[in-house]
Structure 1
Amino acid sequence: MNRLLPLLFLATPAFADAPVIEDVTYSNGRFNVTLSHGDTGWDDYADGWRVELADGTVLGTRTLAHPHVDEQPFTRSSNIAVPAGVDVVYVRASDSVGGWATRTERFSIR
């Protein structure tokens, strides 16, 4: 049994850190989100960000279709409609290994 224990650790997947939301700007319905992440290539890269309401309702998602190994941090934009009367949104990032991060960044749009 003791000989099998080291093999169990080798088979356990390593979880990379979630992307970090470095900056968010909003103007005329357009979000600009700057992320940093330890992209290593197609096996682990920041693959998106989304804008949510406090209750988790997703207003829009920006999919990132490829790694940004040599471009860190990087900014991508998306036009996302925000309902009238909403003053605060939350931005959540995702990576290809861990999926959507548990942490969000609160952002005031007004």
Structure 2
Amino acid sequence: MRIARIFVAGCLLVTSLGAATQALAGDVEIVDAKARSSGDSWTFSVTLKHGDTGWDHYADLWQVYTLDGALLGERVLLHPHENEQPFTRSLSGVQVPDDVTEVIIRARDNVHGVSPQEFRLKLDR
């Protein structure tokens, strides 16, 4: 009976530590973003910071929106970047309407969802 209690206590401790580690990672922070036009499309480079802990909790997406909420493009992040923080990834071929002079960047992680932070970026036209 004593061994069973120790085992249960150990399992609870491991579960609590895992939950605490996920909570410490917090929301994704958008550190910087840049955009450059190339012909009739745009390339966006976005720098994110997040306490990635591995496959259980990592920044997995960033998106580009117009100010009125139309999605222009998104970059799916296919793996954690726990040893590369902050990190920058780019997305090419984004079609931006001619009348759009500013966009909003949003980011997401696979535990907390979309970060409350919105990064506004003026486009050089």
TM bracket, shorter-chain basis:
0.7 to 0.9
TM-score by length of 2: 0.74
Structure 2 unpaired stretches of 5+: 1-15
What's the RMSD between the two structures over aligned residues? 1.7
Q: Which runs of 4+ in 1 moved over 4 A?
A: 13-16
1:82-106 CA deviation, whole Å, 9 max, x = no partner? Answer: 1111000000000010111222111
1:86 maps to a residue whose letter is V
Where structure 1 has 5 or more consecutive residues not aligned to the other structure, the ranges are 1-9
Q: Does 1:27 align with 2:27?
A: no
Q: How many residue pairs end up in the alignment?
A: 100
Larger radius of gyration: 2
Residue aligning to 1:3: none
**TM-score of the two chains, using structure 1 as the length reference:** 0.83
Give the fraction of aligned pairs with identical amino acids, expressed as a percent: 45
Q: Which has the higher helix share?
A: 2
